[in-house]
Structure 1
Amino acid sequence: MICRIKAAWWGVELGKGAKFRGYAIFRTLPDTQIIIGKNADFNSSHRSNLIGIYSPCMISTIRRGAKILIGNNCGFSGTVIGAALKIEIGNNVRCGANTLITDSDWHYGDTRTGKDATVTIHDNVWLGYGVKILKGVTIGENSLIGAGSIVTKDIPANVVAAGNPCKVIKQICYVE
């Protein structure tokens, strides 16, 4: 109940059926938007996932005008999502423990950083333990990103990809 109240306080649109284990953290700036679909599952307690969670789920907008749009039936375990521009996550996306999704370098005063760039994760994607999704990336539907991967470039649909930098390992057949 407290997470629903915190979400409302920060102006987060939280769909019906959201489940919280531990305390998720939400933060929004003025003129920003976080919309989370139905049946989202947030594991924020170290007891909620036996592989180990290092931090609670944290979902935040970090620049004015930013949007985070999350589809239905998504699951997060100690996942950090920070948007300066736009992050869009489809339906049935699973984020393994300690994943990061960001569309920004976060250091605006540093001339070595580049422009913010939208992140899109399509339906039925699975991000393994410790995956980092960086700015400008699109991940195609039904793909699986292996544990510990750092995704810096687009990943097509229906593949297994892994590594640092993340690259396609094999094509998979997706059967509905």
Structure 2
Amino acid sequence: MNILFKVAGKLRYWYWQISARMLARVHGVVLGRGCKFYGMPIFSIAKDSKIIIGDRVVFCSDSRFTALGVNHPVILRTLQPGAVLMIGDDCGLSGTSICSAKYVSIGKRALLGANVSIFDTDFHAKASDNRRYCKDSAKIAVKPVEISDDVFIGANSIIAKGVSIAANSIVGAGAVVVRDIAQSKIYAGNPAKEVGNVE
């Protein structure tokens, strides 16, 4: 019986590696070398936009392969023409949602804990008139998000539009980040505030 489970596990693993790469190619995602998939991610790319993924990035979309489990698969999505979503080499994503209407950049070796959400847009217009159905991008606030190398973002955190997180910083689990974070700082809470330094 153990042999059957091992064989099934290997078949599932290789199915994910092949299928996820094909899915990325079909959607026009630029995928680096040596990326690994545990479960199937969701890719969605707007016309004339780009998703660029570096080498050896690990995508965990299946709760069996991460300690906390994930609420949903990894979701990478561009929302408007010209949008860019970039992920650097050696990053790890577990059930992460990233939406780029203009520009979202994740540096090298970033770790994004279970169910982190990152977005550079408010998704809806500020004015209440027709807010739900408004598709006019000029009425929807958008500001780029930049996350530098070696950043660790704890589970269930939210990184909102316009935020820059400098290298080697840590965001505590469940934090809501609405302002920039300086290098080697630890932020936590809602809204996130500085609580320490990375030694």
- Is 2:184 aligned against 1:158? yes
Residue among 111, 114, 122 paired with 2:127: 111
- Equivalent residues in 2 for 1:72-111, closer than 5 Å: 72-108=89-125, 110-111=126-127
How many residue pairs align between the two structures?
A: 172
- The answer for unaligned runs of 5 or more in structure 1 is none
Write 1 or 2 for the structure with the bigger share of strand: 1
1:52 corresponds in structure 2 to 69
Q: Runs of 4 or more off by more than 3 Å in structure 1?
A: none
Q: Is the partner of 2:89 in helix, strand or coil?
A: coil
Tell me, in whole angstroms, the C-alpha distance in 1 between the residues paired with 2:38 and 2:114. 13
TM-score normalised over the length of structure 2: 0.84
Q: CA RMSD in A?
A: 1.1
Give the alignment of 1:1-176 within 5 angstroms: 1-108=18-125, 110-111=126-127, 115-173=141-199
Going by fraction, where is helix more abundant, 1 or 2?
2
Larger radius of gyration: 2
Gaps of 5+ in 2: 1-17, 129-138
Contact 2:124 2:140 in 1 (8 A): no
Cα deviation, 1:76-129, whole Å, max 9, x if unaligned, reads 000000000100110000000000010011124x52675200000000000001
Tell me the CA shift for residue 172 of structure 1.
2.2
* More deviation, 110-119/87-96: 110-119
1:115 is aligned with what amino acid? Answer: A
Q: Among all aligned residue pairs of Structure 1 and Structure 2, give the percentage whose two residues are the same amino acid.
A: 38
